[in-house]
Structures are given as C-alpha cells and as structure tokens.
Amino acid sequence: MDTSTVATKTRASAGRRTIRNLRWWILGWALAAGIINYMDRSAVSIAAPELIKTFGMTRTDIGLLGTVFSWTYAFAQLPAGWLVDKLGARRMYFLAIACWSIATALMAVGSRLWQFLSFRVLLGIAEAPNGPASAKLTADWFPRAERGQATAIWDSGSKWGPAIAPPILTAIMIAFGWQAIFVVLGLAGLVLAVAFFLFYRSPEAHQRISSEELDYIERERASQKLQAGRTSWFGLFRHRQIWGMMAGFFCVIWIWNIFIVFLPLYLQEARGASIAGSGWLAAIPYLGAAILGITGGWVMTRYSRRSGKSPLTAKRHVMSIAAVVAGVLICLIPFVDSLPLTIAVMTVALGFVATMQAAAWAMPGDVVQNAQVASVGAIQNFGGYFGGAFAPLLTGVIADATGSYTLSFVIGGIIAALAAVAYTVLVRRPIPGTNAPAGALNAGGER
C-alpha cells in the first residue's frame, strides 16, 4: 500500500464521520442519474398524443424521434466510453447530466419535426456517457462478485424512470401543457448534475469511507488482479466476446426501445385506455421491472457464490434463462384478451428484460480489467442501440400500415430470445491473455 493511500485513509478516518457500507450508498448517484435519464427519454412517449394532435405528426414520426435518438446515442457511445475511462466518472457524469438536461429543456421550444429531431440528436450525444460512467463507478467501488447486484440497482433507474414518468409527466401535461414536461425535467437534471459534482468522489478520495471498507475494496481488487496488461481500444474488436456482447445487447435494446417509445400509445390505441389512465397503467410494467431486475441481480450474486461458478458464467446462465422467458412472454402480449392480464404479462416480461440488462452491464468487468470497463460497456451499448434504433421506426411504420402492434411484439419477442444465443456462444470467457481474472476458472474448467 502506497503512502498516498495511507494518507487518504487517515484523512477519511480522522476529521469526519464515516458511513458504513458507503459503496452501496454511492449507488444512489448512479440510480438517480438513471432515473432522470430515462424520464427524459420517455417524455416523448408521454407527449406523443399532443404532438400528433398539435403538429400533425404520424406514428412513424414519433418512431423516427426514437430512432434518431438511438442512432445518435449508439455512435456517441464509442467516444463516451473512452472519455469516461480517461476523465473518470465524476467529471463525465457532471458534463453529461448538465448537457442532456439542456437538450431536454429545448424540446419545449420546438414546433417543427426537424427541430424535435435536432434536439433528440443532442440528447443522444449527451446521454451516451451515462451507462459507461455507471459501469465505471461500479468497477471502482465493488468487487466482481458484488457487481451483478450493484449493477442491477443502478440499472433499475432505467425502469424507475419510465415507471415514475407516466403518472407524473401526464399530470404535468394535463395541468400545464406538454412543454412543461421538458422544462421540469431539464431543471431537475441540472440540480442533480451540480449535486453529483460536489459530493461524489472515488473510494480513495472519499472522506466518508471507513478504513475497513477501503481495506475491503483494495483487498478484493488485489485478489482479482488481472494477469496481464490491457488490450488497445481498437484491439478489443478482434475478440469474439466484444461482438457477442454487441449482438446480445442489440436483442435486449430492440424490445426495450419499443416499450420506451410506444407503450402509452399502445395502451391508448390497442387497449382503449385514456390519456390520463395510460399514464398510470404504463407505470406498472416498469415498476415491476425495477423490482424484478434488482431481484435478478441478487440471484446472479447468490448463484455465483453458491455454485462456485465464475461471476461471468453465472451472469451468462441467468441471462440465457431470462432471454428465453422474456421472448415468449413478449410474443404473447398482443394475444392476451383482458387489459389487467396484458399489464401483468408486460410486467413479468419487462422484469426479465431488466435482468438481462443488469447482467449485460455487469459483464464488462468480467471480461476486461477495470481501466477498460467503461470502454467495453460503451461498445456493447453501441451495438445495442445501433441495431435497436430500427425498432421504434419499424414499429411506427407497421402501426401506420396495419393499424396494429401485433407483428412488432412478435418480432421483438423472437429477437429478445436470441440474446441467449449471442451471450452463451460468444461470451464464454474473459478476453484471452489480457484480462483473465485470477480464479476465473470454476471447478469444471469453464470460465
């Protein structure tokens, strides 16, 4: 242990009161960022009926707003992950949250499709660092065995956000107009950006961490130290693990994008819900997904510890089961007769999708060393959103052409199930030679 670390521990223990298990409290920042992030994304789906009525937009136009965001978000992932690894989570979180909040607020002044598309491009660029920064924060604060559960907690923000958004934003829209949705979200994001920058620190620099917890974090880092140096950023693309993670996450994001962009409209048009009623109904599947996603993270952690399998193997197994179950349930959604049963099936399906997302975001820490976790997470996210960007546009085109969402759900369910193939076949072990963690082989020889 070097003298700087000792000095940091002394400062942490001496002057200020420490917080027990601080690393779990630190997740609150990533969780809050995720909630605001996904409220911003889902705001268009809440405002969609008013945008259609006021500006004469079609469902294809609404889908295009989702697709343009996703394409921009996908390409921005590549530099975003690299920047997070270079600048750290604290600075990139601050810049990202502040910029995406401004982009969100600008939606309130739009009046033409090209303007809304431009603001969605800005939002996609600014939101790109969120996932990689959260993965970086997790890698800095948590040992590998705990990352599945930790990732599930911060990733649940992508469910809490859409769960909170419909009732709150619908009420704001009814009371103050659709523009107020984007103004309120923009202001909330700016407050979070400043608060995060003022209070977040890495473990070594945090004054509220106890000596015992810092010892634990550093001890786990040492025991899980990778066996060799890291691969260059471009060199990562030579490995099938990277392509498997990109393909698998595409399957996850495809169906996720359909729900994010079209769920309120689907409930209104296909299930007869009112605008106010759809706000509350749309919240239920995301609320269930948040809870089930966290449960899935807990299952990954327990399974890894009790089975003796490596964290990566445990995540792959859970991912595969979740993908198949989610795929079947999503295909069933348009064929369910009653509205309550439809909501129930959606809730369970999104819960398994949430488990898939948590497993996927925790995997980069199992295939590369900490210094490249954000880069690999961003590359995976690029693959997911580049391909998944087609989902909202295709869904809008199908809905305009057929007046139905049935085909979109069936296609989405099949694609979601295929994630099991990508992760099981291609992401079987850490990248060879550069990042195999000590103890990565389980008793059966599988990584």
Token reading at 304: 């890894």
Please give the angle made by the CA atoms of 343, 344 and 345, to the nearest 5 degrees.
95
The identity of residue 244, as a single letter, is: G
Domain count, the chain: 1
Instruction: Kindly state whether residue 85 falls inside one of the protein's structural domains.
Output: yes
Instruction: Kindly state whether residue 250 falls inside one of the protein's structural domains.
Output: yes
Instruction: Kindly state whether residue 202 falls inside one of the protein's structural domains.
Output: yes
Residue 229 pLDDT? 45
d(CA 358, CA 314): 12
Tell me the DSSP string of 231-283: PPTGGGGGSHHHHHHHHHHHHHHHHHHHHHHHHHHHHHHTT---HHHHHHHHH
The DSSP 8-state label assigned to residue 371 in this structure reads: G
- Residue 82: give its domain's CATH number: 1.20.1250.20
Residue 439 pLDDT? 43
- Residue 391, CA distances (Å) to 395, 398, 402 in order: 6, 10, 16
Query: Over its length of 447 residues, how does the chain's per-residue pLDDT go in tens digits?
Result: 444 444 444 444 445 577 778 888 888 888 999 999 989 988 888 898 888 888 988 888 988 988 898 889 889 988 888 888 888 888 888 999 999 999 999 999 988 999 999 999 999 999 999 888 888 888 888 887 787 788 888 888 888 988 888 889 989 999 999 999 999 999 999 999 999 898 888 888 888 888 888 888 887 766 655 443 467 878 888 899 999 999 999 999 999 989 988 888 899 889 988 877 887 898 899 888 888 888 888 888 788 778 777 888 888 899 999 999 999 999 999 999 899 999 999 999 999 999 998 889 888 878 887 778 888 888 998 999 888 888 988 998 999 999 999 999 999 999 999 999 999 999 888 887 544 444 443 333 333
Instruction: Kindly state whether residue 436 falls inside one of the protein's structural domains.
Output: no
| Residue from 152, 133, 444, 131 nearest 315 by CA | 152
The DSSP 8-state label assigned to residue 20 in this structure reads: T
Contact 362, 300 (CB under 8 A): yes
Contact 376, 367 (CB under 8 A): yes
Residue 444 pLDDT? 34
Instruction: Kindly state whether residue 447 falls inside one of the protein's structural domains.
Output: no
Residue 10 pLDDT? 46
Backbone angles phi, psi at 437, to 5 degrees: -65, 150
Residue 224 pLDDT? 56
Instruction: Kindly state whether residue 365 falls inside one of the protein's structural domains.
Output: yes
Question: What size, in residues, is the chain?
Answer: 447
d(CA 437, CA 441): 9
Instruction: Kindly state whether residue 318 falls inside one of the protein's structural domains.
Output: yes
d(CA 186, CA 65): 18
d(CA 447, CA 444): 9
Instruction: Kindly state whether residue 333 falls inside one of the protein's structural domains.
Output: yes
In terms of residue numbers, what domain contains 190? 14-224+238-426
d(CA 47, CA 173): 8
16: left (phi over 0), alpha (psi -120 to 50) or beta: beta
Contact 33, 90 (CB under 8 A): no
Secondary-structure percent of the chain, ordered helix, strand, coil, rounded to 5: 80, 0, 20
Token reading at 335: 């064929």
d(CA 3, CA 376): 32
| Residue from 85, 263, 111, 81 nearest 178 by CA | 111
